[in-house]
Amino acid sequence: MNELLSDIYVIKERGAFGAFKPEINIYVLAGPDGLVFDAGYGNRSAVRHLMRELGAIGDRFRSKGRPFAVRRVLISHAHPDHFPGLIPLRAELGLKIMIPARSAEVIRSAKDFYGSMDAEEEDEFLLRRRRAGGMRSAVRRMLMRHFYRRLYGLHFLPDPDELLPDTAELDINGERWSVFSSPGHAFDHISLYSPARGVLFAGDNVLRSITTWLGPPNSDLEAYIDSLERMLDLPKLEVVLPAHGSPVTNPRERIREIIDFRWKRTMQVYEALEARDGGATMDEVVRALYAGEGRFKHEMARGWVALTLRFLESRGVAERSETKREIRFHAVAGASERDIHGHLGKPVGAAGGKTDSTSRAGKNGRKIS
Ligand SMILES: [Zn+2]
C-alpha cells in the first residue's frame, strides 16, 4: 500500500492476462471511521493481500497512537473487477456494504449478472447479425461463466447493507464527501468527491493513460460525455484517483482530452461511413479504423464503435438499412460537424475554425490507438 494523499491509501491488486484481468486500485480513506472505495477481486489470494495491506495501514495508525477503524465499503460500479471483494470484506472485517441501488440490481445473483451480458443480446447491441448456433452460444456462455468465476473470484450479493440513491452525502472520518451518479462507462457508475480537498474518486471514467472501455449493453456515449462535463464543473478539482493506473494530477486537462478524443473518434466513424457508397456494417467500420491491427484490438473496439453508430443515428446523421443478414449504416450527406457532435461538446483544443482541420486531419494513415 501507499499513502497518496493525507490519510488516503491505495492498495493495488494484481491483474493477469493483460486487458482480461486488469490491475485494480482499492482506496482506503483511513481514520477512526474509514471507508474502502471499490472492493476488487474476490479470489482468495486477492482477498488475503487486501487484508494484509489493510492491517498494515492499521498498524501504522496505531504506532502513531491514532485511532483506526474501517467500517464501510462502497463500489464505483458493478463490473467484475470492482465488486467481488465485497462479500469477503464483510465476512472478514464486518464492513458494512454500501452500494448504489442500480449496482445492487446487477450483482444480486448470478442470473442477474450474466443476464446483463447475454450473448445474443450482445450481438443485437453490437449491431450485427449472426446465426448464433444454439450449441455455439451455449458453449460460449459456459466458458465465460467459468472464466469469470475462476479468474475474478465472483461472489454475488443478495443482501447489501445500505443502498445509496443517485446523490448522497457521506461523513467519512469527520470529512464531508459527496457521492454523485456518473453513468457512461456503466449505467450504475458513481463517483466520490471531496469539495474541500478537491479529490475525486472517478472509478473507470477518468484514467490517466488508457482509454476507458465503452460498449454495450451498459455504456452510453452521451451519458459518458455528460458525466465528464459535470466533473469539469466541480468547484475544486486537484486530483482524480482512478480505478486503474496512477493518480491524474492534471484532472481538468485530462478530462478535456478525453472529451476531445471521443469527439475525434465520432468524426472518424462518420467519415468511415461517408467514404463508402453502400454504407458499412459495424465490423467494417472497425476494420477500417483498425486496419493492420490484430483480432483482439478489433474485439475490444467493437463496443465503442457500436455506441458511436447509435449516437450518430440518434443525431440523425446516420441511417441504418437492415436485411436478414446484416445491419448497414449510411452517412446522411451534408451533415455539419455541429450536427454530428451535438451533446458531445466543443472540441477543446479547437477554438473557432481550427476544429475542422484538427479533427479531420487523422483521416488518412494516422495510427489509431
Ligand atoms: Zn468498469
Q: Which residue's entry shows cell 465465460?
A: 144
pLDDT in tens, the chain (369 residues): 999 999 999 999 988 877 678 899 999 999 999 999 999 999 999 999 999 999 999 999 999 999 999 999 999 999 999 999 999 999 999 999 999 999 999 999 988 888 777 645 566 666 776 655 555 667 767 777 787 788 889 999 999 999 999 899 999 999 999 999 999 999 999 999 999 999 999 999 999 988 999 988 888 999 999 999 999 999 999 999 999 999 999 999 999 999 999 999 999 999 999 999 899 999 999 999 999 998 888 888 988 999 999 999 999 999 999 888 889 999 998 887 778 876 665 554 443 333 333 333 333 333 223
The C-alpha atoms of residue 294 and residue 5 are separated, in whole angstroms, by 40
Q: In this structure, which amino acid lies at residue 92?
A: E
306: cell is 457500436
- CATH topology for 2-118+154-249 is Metallo-beta-lactamase; Chain A (3.60.15)
Distance 12 CA to ligand 1 centre (A): 16
The C-alpha atoms of residue 315 and residue 303 are separated, in whole angstroms, by 19
Distance 357 CA to ligand 1 centre (A): 33
Distance 280 CA to ligand 1 centre (A): 29
Cβ atoms within 10 Å, residue 338: 9
195: cell is 469539495
Q: In this structure, which amino acid lies at residue 309?
A: L
Calculated CA dihedral for residues 56, 60, 66, 71, nearest 10 degrees: -20
Q: Which residue's entry shows cell 455539419?
A: 336
Nearest to 216 by CA among 261, 189, 186: 186
5: cell is 494523499
Contacts with 169 (C-beta within 8 Å, 6 or more apart), sequence order: 176, 177, 178, 179
The C-alpha atoms of residue 15 and residue 66 are separated, in whole angstroms, by 33
344: cell is 458531445
Handedness of CA 355, 359, 361, 367 (dihedral sign): positive
Calculated CA dihedral for residues 237, 241, 242, 248, nearest 10 degrees: 60
Distance 319 CA to ligand 1 centre (A): 30
222 DSSP assignment:
H
φ, ψ of residue 107 in degrees (nearest 5): -105, 15
| Domain-wise residue ranges, the chain | 2-118+154-249, 259-363
Distance 69 CA to ligand 1 centre (A): 28
Distance 80 CA to ligand 1 centre (A): 8
Q: In this structure, which amino acid lies at residue 272?
A: A
Distance 351 CA to ligand 1 centre (A): 33
The C-alpha atoms of residue 40 and residue 200 are separated, in whole angstroms, by 18
Distance 201 CA to ligand 1 centre (A): 13
Distance 26 CA to ligand 1 centre (A): 13
φ, ψ of residue 181 in degrees (nearest 5): -70, 130
The C-alpha atoms of residue 348 and residue 255 are separated, in whole angstroms, by 10
Contacts with 164 (C-beta within 8 Å, 6 or more apart), sequence order: 74, 98, 99, 100, 101, 179, 190
Query: At the top level of CATH, which class does the domain 259-363 belong to?
Result: mainly alpha
Distance 213 CA to ligand 1 centre (A): 7
Helix (H, G, I), strand (E, B) or coil at 326: coil
Distance 79 CA to ligand 1 centre (A): 5
The model's pTM is: 0.88
Spacing of C-alpha 366 from chain mean position: 26
Distance 148 CA to ligand 1 centre (A): 14
Cβ atoms within 10 Å, residue 263: 22
